[in-house]
Amino acid sequence: MKKRNGKELTTEEINYFIEEYSKGNIPDYQVSALMMAIYFQKMNKRETADLTKAMANSGVTIDLSDIEGVKVDKHSTGGVGDTTTLVLGPIVAATGVPVAKMSGRGLGHTGGTIDKLESFKGFSVEMSREQFVKNVNEKKIAIGGQTADLAPADKKLYALRDVTATVDNISLIASSIMSKKIAAGADAIVLDVKTGSGAFMKKEEDSFELAKEMVDIGNNVGRNTVAIVTDMDQPLGFAVGNALEVKEAIDTLKGEGPEDLTELCLTLGSHMLVLAEPTKTIEEARNMLEDVINSGKGLDKLKELIEAQGGDPSYVDDPSLLPKASIVQPVLATKEGYVKSIKADDIGKAALVLGAGRETKESEIDLSVGIVLHKKIGDYVKEGEAIATIHANSEKKQKEAENIVLKAYNIVTEEVKKNKLIKGIITKDRIERF
Ligand code: URA
Ligand code: CA
């Protein structure tokens, strides 16, 4: 009633509601009503920070203090063909900054980082906490699985919001995401907030608002947090699929990757380095990361990571060993012109149809399938030219995906400008827009 009437909830009230809801002492119907009240009446910064803390403390909180150095985590709000972690982890670790990454499998168009890494035969995230810490201290990088008991109150609340039309409130989204990051134990956090057709937030204004809210929460709870708002109006890079994205990550670590993926990794990585304090300026950090790519140290770091976690690192030198699909077919343009837009969501759907992702938690992923785009926004296409290639293991699914990909491309006669990848940067005390 208090929130329905537009009043501010106290810290004690928020803690009480999260604790008792977690224990099952408050029924879903009351919490649904509260979520709807929050949806309409909103929460202020203090309430949002309190909710975040309460959810972060609802389960295990990971202590990374036995890892030397400043632990910087990266989080992306999710998009299509986002291969960043596979590149960013190794290049940041190669500069000496510890990367203690917890990754998920998750639902979606393609698998999560762990699924992708399983393209390397033998790779596993199963290891003791001691081994994880040892690996990060010695090799500067380890990728572990997310424990189920991280912020369980958020899990319960998110599922309830999902079926009560109360997901899209900025405070609730921001506290949900940040509670998990805070429980995971990082000292500092770089957020990649996506915007556009393939993102959770379609409108740029909303993405900036969400980014600002998360940065404020992070800094409010003593975690140095920076957010970058980036374009997701078309898939990132060219590859969408698991093994295909691994190949793309390897190319990028060799300095031969897609321009947008490379730029995004350098941008996010530079901010991670500045937060971890081996450098003072973004320019210096960027130079360090470029050196790591040019010298091959980033690629070596990926091999080291794969080997340390039981995988076969020879795949990095010979990507033809990665899982391969039996059908590889081009998608041919039906008209001439410039690519005006590529519905990222639909490319994701095509990948899902091919079997690259999970529709339910139980689905099996096919690591070999997916789509490789050849044309991105602003590119010129001739009629009959390949705009993409489909990697499939069934002719029926290949045809279905081909139709979706064809429809996802909007080709027009007038010239189209390439779109800007980095839309803005939000730090504790400034918002910069590009
Ligand atoms: N992702 C989350 O983890 N939580 C939300 O509320 C929305 C997106
Ligand atoms: Ca990609």
- In the prediction, which pLDDT does 250 show? 98
CB 103 within 8 A of CB 113: yes
- In the prediction, which pLDDT does 200 show? 84
pLDDT digits (tens, 9 = 90+) for 249-292: 999 999 999 999 999 999 999 999 999 988 889 999 999 999 99
pLDDT band at 18 (very low <50, low <70, confident <90, very high): very high
- In this model, does residue 122 exceed pLDDT 90? yes
- In the prediction, which pLDDT does 231 show? 95
pLDDT digits (tens, 9 = 90+) for 401-434: 999 999 999 999 999 999 899 999 999 999 999 9
For ligand 1, atom 3, the nearest C-alpha belongs to 177
403: left (phi over 0), alpha (psi -120 to 50) or beta: alpha
Nearest to 228 by CA among 417, 79, 366, 338: 79
Structure tokens at 155: 């899990």
pLDDT band at 393 (very low <50, low <70, confident <90, very high): very high
- In this model, does residue 187 exceed pLDDT 90? yes
CB 119 within 8 A of CB 323: yes
Average confidence (pLDDT) over 33-50: 97
CA 299/CA 319 separation, integer angstroms: 13
- In the prediction, which pLDDT does 208 show? 97
**At how many degrees (to 10) do helices 28-41 and 11-23 cross?**
150
CB 150 within 8 A of CB 184: yes
CB 227 within 8 A of CB 425: yes
Please give the full DSSP string across 175-220, using - where no structure is assigned.
HHHHHHHHHTT-SEEEEEEEESTTSS--SHHHHHHHHHHHHHHHHH
CB 349 within 8 A of CB 109: yes
Percentage of residues in the chain with pLDDT exceeding 90? 86
CA 325 to ligand 1 centroid distance, Å: 33
- In this model, does residue 218 exceed pLDDT 90? yes
- In the prediction, which pLDDT does 358 show? 87
Percentage of residues in the chain with pLDDT exceeding 70? 100
- In the prediction, which pLDDT does 363 show? 83
In the beta sheet, which residues pair with residue 410?
341
Active-site residue 366, yes or no?
Answer: no
Active-site hit among 58, 119, 175, 176:
176
- In the prediction, which pLDDT does 361 show? 79
Beta-carbon count within 10 A of 272 CB: 26
- In the prediction, which pLDDT does 194 show? 95
- In the prediction, which pLDDT does 392 show? 98
CA 132/CA 66 separation, integer angstroms: 11
* Rg of the chain on CA atoms, in Å: 22
- In the prediction, which pLDDT does 106 show? 72
- In the prediction, which pLDDT does 44 show? 95
149 or 57, higher pLDDT = 57
- In the prediction, which pLDDT does 256 show? 97
CB 87 within 8 A of CB 257: yes
- In the prediction, which pLDDT does 85 show? 94
CB 77 within 8 A of CB 192: yes
Active-site residue 212, yes or no?
Answer: no
- In the prediction, which pLDDT does 19 show? 97
- In the prediction, which pLDDT does 430 show? 93
Beta-carbon count within 10 A of 297 CB: 16
C-alpha separations of 195 from 2, 35, 109, 207, 335 in Å:
34, 25, 17, 6, 28
Active-site hit among 50, 82, 154, 216:
154
Q: Which bound ligand lies closest to the C-alpha atom of 154?
A: 1
Active-site residue 46, yes or no?
Answer: no
Q: Residue 167: CB within 6 Å of ligand 1?
A: yes
> Which of 166, 176, 181, 214 has most ligand 1 atoms within 8 Å of its beta carbon, as the pocket-test mutant?
176
- In the prediction, which pLDDT does 213 show? 96
CB 249 within 8 A of CB 83: yes
- In the prediction, which pLDDT does 354 show? 97
Three-state SS at 148:
coil
CB 113 within 8 A of CB 86: yes
CA 155/CA 333 separation, integer angstroms: 43
Active-site residue 176, yes or no?
Answer: yes
106: left (phi over 0), alpha (psi -120 to 50) or beta: left
Structure tokens at 262: 């490379």
- Put the strands of the sheet holding 431-433 in their side by side order: 72-76, 188-195, 224-231, 422-426, 431-433
Average confidence (pLDDT) over 231-237: 94
CA 93/CA 97 separation, integer angstroms: 5
Determine if the pTM surpasses 0.85.
yes
Lowest mean pLDDT segment, chosen from 99-113, 154-168, 333-347: 99-113
Average confidence (pLDDT) over 207-212: 96
pLDDT digits (tens, 9 = 90+) for 292-325: 999 999 999 999 999 999 999 999 999 999 999 9
- In the prediction, which pLDDT does 102 show? 85
- Burial group, residue 141, by CB count within 10 angstroms (0-12, 13-18, 19+): buried
- In this model, does residue 7 exceed pLDDT 90? yes
Close Cβ partners of 431 (under 8 Å, ≥ 6 residues apart): 208, 212, 424, 425
pLDDT band at 108 (very low <50, low <70, confident <90, very high): confident
- In the prediction, which pLDDT does 67 show? 92
Nearest to 350 by CA among 409, 297, 286: 409
pLDDT band at 34 (very low <50, low <70, confident <90, very high): very high
To the nearest whole number, what is the mean pLDDT of the chain? Answer: 94
- In the prediction, which pLDDT does 293 show? 98
Active-site residue 75, yes or no?
Answer: yes
Kindly provide the residue ranges of all beta strands, DSSP E only, lying in 223-333, ordered along the sequence: 224-231, 239-241, 327-332
- In the prediction, which pLDDT does 92 show? 97
Active-site hit among 161, 181, 286, 423:
161
CB 108 within 8 A of CB 357: yes
- In the prediction, which pLDDT does 79 show? 85
